[in-house]
């Protein structure tokens, strides 16, 4: 049983019914890449709630509780305002709703940059409060010391290079990275530094394809692409983007559904039936017993 506490499945909608499987582990994810080759690509999606985790978990190897929840759930303009409390609460919900995937939680902006010790305190808090298996942080060579510090103290770390949303104010926007020779070299160097520091995987976001392929070949740990290349060792997307919850999405998103239209059409049907007093009907009402 992988939940942090037992839920009464007779009374709760969010009843993560135990499944006959063992949760994947960070070492198993890391071991997917052997001698530079990943035979079975790693599947990763974001999740922010218990119910969402239940639906995605059987199909994924990892669930990322991303700080993208700031925009997707809270309507914030960027990931910068996201707090530790937000990340902890949503990560705990995802852990309770999943049984198979490795749950990774983002360290929010400001929680880890000050020092390795500061990062350890933040990461330890998130893992204790949520039950997640690993943390993710943004940055390359500048964060290598922190990645090593955490890894050596029992906290698995996933790196994140290329387009790093927490640094949007420095980058000046969300444009693809790696177009200049200097930037391309830095991305490869960043990946190598994180790999050598002990990261078990590295997300490559918004990087031109040749550089994403070069990074994947250059490091021993798996790469997880998002707007990078199908040749990465795995892929991740924001679930709401690929499900079609939003009209505007980044170029690298493929919409696999149109959930927004389904929700809108269903709400319209409900509103119509309420206004014409056809809902609730006999099947939804309680009648006196004879």
Six-digit token string for 102: 């490795």
Phi and psi angles of residue 182, each rounded to the nearest 5 degrees, phi first? -65, -45
Cα 234 to Cα 66: distance, rounded to the nearest angstrom? 16
68 annotated as ligand-binding: yes
Alpha-carbon Rg for the chain in angstroms = 21
Cα 235 to Cα 41: distance, rounded to the nearest angstrom? 8
106 annotated as ligand-binding: yes
40 is catalytic: no
For residue 167, what are the contacts with CB-CB under 8 A and spacing of at least 6?
138, 139
Coil, strand or helix: which one is 109?
coil
User: Pick the catalytic residue: 196, 205, 209, 240?
Assistant: 205
3-state secondary structure 166-220: HHHHHHCCCCCECCCHHHHHHHHHHHHHHHHHCCCEEEEECECHHHHHHHHHHCC
Termini Cα distance of the chain: 45
136 annotated as ligand-binding: yes
Q: Which residues contribute to the annotated binding site?
A: 67-68, 106, 136, 138
Q: Which residues are annotated as a binding site for 3-methyl-2-oxobutanoate?
A: 67-68, 106, 136
**Which parts are annotated binding residues for Mg(2+)?**
67, 106, 138
The residues annotated with a catalytic role in the active site are 205
């Amino acid at each position: 049983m992988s939940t942090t506490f037992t839920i009464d499945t007779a009374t709760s909608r969010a009843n993560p019914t135990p499944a006959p499987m063992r949760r994947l582990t960070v070492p198993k994810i890391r071991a997917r890449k052997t001698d530079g080759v990943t035979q079975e690509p790693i599947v990763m999606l974001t999740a922010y709630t218990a119910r969402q985790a239940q639906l995605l978990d059987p199909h994924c190897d990892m669930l990322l509780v991303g700080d993208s929840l700031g925009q997707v759930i809270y309507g914030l303009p960027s990931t910068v305002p996201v707090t530790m409390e937000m990340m902890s609460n949503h990560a705990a919900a995802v852990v309770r709703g999943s049984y198979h995937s490795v749950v990774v939680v983002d360290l929010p902006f400001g929680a880890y940059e000050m020092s390795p010790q500061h990062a350890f305190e933040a990461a330890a808090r998130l893992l204790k409060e949520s039950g997640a298996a690993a943390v993710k942080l943004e940055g390359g060579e500048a964060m290598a010391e922190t990645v090593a510090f955490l890894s050596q103290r029992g906290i698995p770390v996933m790196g994140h290079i290329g387009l790093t949303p927490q640094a949007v104010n420095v980058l000046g926007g969300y444009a693809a990275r790696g177009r200049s020779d200097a930037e391309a070299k830095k991305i490869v160097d960043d990946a190598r530094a994180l790999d050598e520091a002990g990261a078990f995987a590295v997300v490559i976001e918004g990087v031109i394809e040749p550089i994403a392929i070069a990074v994947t070949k250059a490091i021993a740990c798996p790469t997880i692409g998002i707007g990078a290349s199908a040749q990465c060792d795995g892929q991740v997307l924001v679930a709401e983007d690929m499900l079609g919850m939003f009209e505007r999405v980044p170029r690298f998103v493929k919409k696999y559904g149109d959930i927004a239209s389904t929700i809108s059409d269903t709400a319209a049907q409900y509103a119509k039936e309420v206004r014409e007093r056809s809902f609730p009907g006999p099947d939804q009402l309680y009648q006196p017993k004879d």
